[in-house]
Amino acid sequence: MKRLAILGAFALAPALSGCGLHPLYSGGSSGPVAGALGQVEIAPIAGKNGWLMATALRDRLPSNGAPPIYRIDIRLDDQISGLGVRTDDSVSRERRTLRARYQLVRIGDGSVLLDATAGSDAGIDVVRSEYATIAAENTALERLSQIVADQIVARVALYARNTTAATAATAATAAQSTPPAK
């Protein structure tokens, strides 16, 4: 049985190699995606949630020392809503939702290259201790900032990869269509 499973895996290997998946960060820290992400600056975001988001994004974006070409402008929507109610009409469960509308802007001309949203939510148990509830709300905000920052960086990286691939394809097509110099 074990031998049959191994043979089956080898038989499927050629089919899986043509699936069309390509690594996003090919070339590592010297690749085109990492280079583009290293040229992104984060515009200031107001408030505690803005500071957490900006810090999370800076932690995820590589720093290559190059001057920024792009800027990410972010508007956050942070809400807490009550879900469960106890018999004494007090809230027993909350949902904290963090949504970010972000735009990738080319600094040179101010053109918006990417306009998208990212978001996540977390459940919070409301306990009798107000301190513990506030601590849980703050922890949820920190965790949500990390999750939303991951989504934003992944989307910007995907944009950078697609833009780099499109630029390379255009250059290759132009090189093929021009007649050789005599």
Percent of the chain with pLDDT over 70: 72
More confident residue, 26 or 74: 74
pTM recorded for the entire structure: 0.76
Looking at this protein, which amino acid is placed at residue 171?
A
Domain-by-domain residue ranges, the chain? 26-161
- Answer yes or no: is pLDDT of 81 > 80: yes
- What confidence tens digit (pLDDT) does each residue in 7-19 have? 566 666 565 555 6
Report, as an integer, the average pLDDT of 128-136.
92
User: Which one has a higher pLDDT value, 120 or 172?
Assistant: 120
What does the pLDDT look like over 48-72, one tens digit per residue?
999 999 999 999 998 877 889 999 9
Q: Give the DSSP H/E element, type plus range, for residue 123.
A: strand 112-125
Instruction: Could you please state the CATH topology (level 3) that the domain comprising 26-161 is classified under.
Output: Double Stranded RNA Binding Domain (3.30.160)
φ, ψ dihedrals at 81, nearest 5° = -130, 145
Alpha helix stretches (DSSP H) within 18-129: 32-37, 47-60
Nearest to 153 by CA among 107, 104, 113, 105: 104
Confidence check: pLDDT of 147 > 90? yes
Residue 73's pLDDT band (boundaries 50, 70, 90)?
very high
Residue 25 has a pLDDT of 54
pLDDT at 128: 87
Position 135 scores a pLDDT of 95
Q: Which of the four pLDDT bands, split at 50, 70 and 90, describes residue 139? A: very high
Residue with the bigger pLDDT between 160 and 12: it is 160
Q: Decide if 135 contacts 100 (C-beta within 8 A).
A: no
Residue 105: per-residue pLDDT: 95
pLDDT over 90, % of the chain: 52
